[in-house]
Structure 1
Amino acid sequence: MTKPAAGEVFRYPFLWKREQMAGETEGRKTRPVCIAVTVAKSDSETVVFILPITTQPPLPSRKCIEVPQIESQRVGLETHVRKWVMLDEINTDILERSYVWEDRTPIGTFSSVFTSKIQSSLIALARSGGASIVDRLK
């Protein structure tokens, strides 16, 4: 199994925090997501930190990064629609035993510059306690 890398974009049934709080355990639809970080655990498992990509304009209170048109093109997403990588909601999953991540073929990869921007913004937000994590590690 090929392990995902930061910046790769996949289709994944992202579970929003509000859905989890309502008792849901499955994402309502498969959407494009970006792998922000991967962490190798000592037991040979890989934890992935997954950020959703949305076309819905975020509320001003939300933390996100707009996806430049060239990056949308790079990963094979439509370029005529604006998109945002949401930073304030994260799904964590274990690659080797995820029961929801079916298609593990990346649809593309963001540039290293854009990926670094996502990671540094996410780290700053996480340090301030501004991100909600939906733990799907079970």
Structure 2
Amino acid sequence: MSSPTPVAGLVIRYNYLWDKEKSEGFAVGSKDRPCAVVVYHSRTSDTIVVPITHSPPERGEEDLSIEVPAELRGQLGLDDDANWIRVSEVNRFEWPGIHLRALPSDPSRYRYGWSRLNSSI
């Protein structure tokens, strides 16, 4: 299976390593999750992703998360539950890296979907 071409707005399945997990000495995230590609540099394959989670932001961190609107969740192929993009931390890696994961619903794909980023999201 070949990996998709990374572009800003692509939502992939990725083994995201939270900052807290890294500070506890983990090298691999506790679970695979949707992540949005924010930056991709084609010459170096340098890639930056932000995690998408079902956990709502904690009190005082509301400005560090963006709720994914229901219509966009549907376009991206995410589930119907509330999803939040965490903008307070990122993972950086060389594409495609070792943490790209196949979708549980379709083992032949790594990507949920793609949406152009815009100022309202």
- Shorter-chain TM-score tier: 0.7 to 0.9
Q: Counterparts in 2 of 1:80-95, with a 5 A limit?
A: 81-95=81-95
CA distance in 2, matches of 1:5, 1:38: 6
Number of equivalenced pairs: 111
1:49 Cα offset (Å):
0.8
Question: Paired residue for 1:27, among 29, 36, 39?
Answer: 29
CA distance in 2, matches of 1:5, 1:39: 9
Name the residue aligned to 1:45. Answer: 44
1:106 Cα offset (Å):
1.4
Amino acid in structure 2 at the alignment position of 1:94? E
Q: Which has the higher helix share?
A: 1
Tell me if structure 1 keeps the 8 A contact 2:11–2:111. Answer: yes
Amino acid in structure 1 at the alignment position of 2:79? E
Unaligned runs of 5+ in 2: 103-108
What RMSD in Å do the two structures reach over aligned CA positions? 1.9
1:78 Cα offset (Å):
1.4
Unaligned runs of 5+ in 1: 122-138
Q: Structure 2 vs 1, CA of residues 108 and 64 (structure 1 numbering), >3 Å: closer, same or farther?
A: same
Q: If the length of structure 1 is used for normalisation, what is the TM-score?
A: 0.72
Question: Paired residue for 2:111, among 95, 106, 112?
Answer: 106
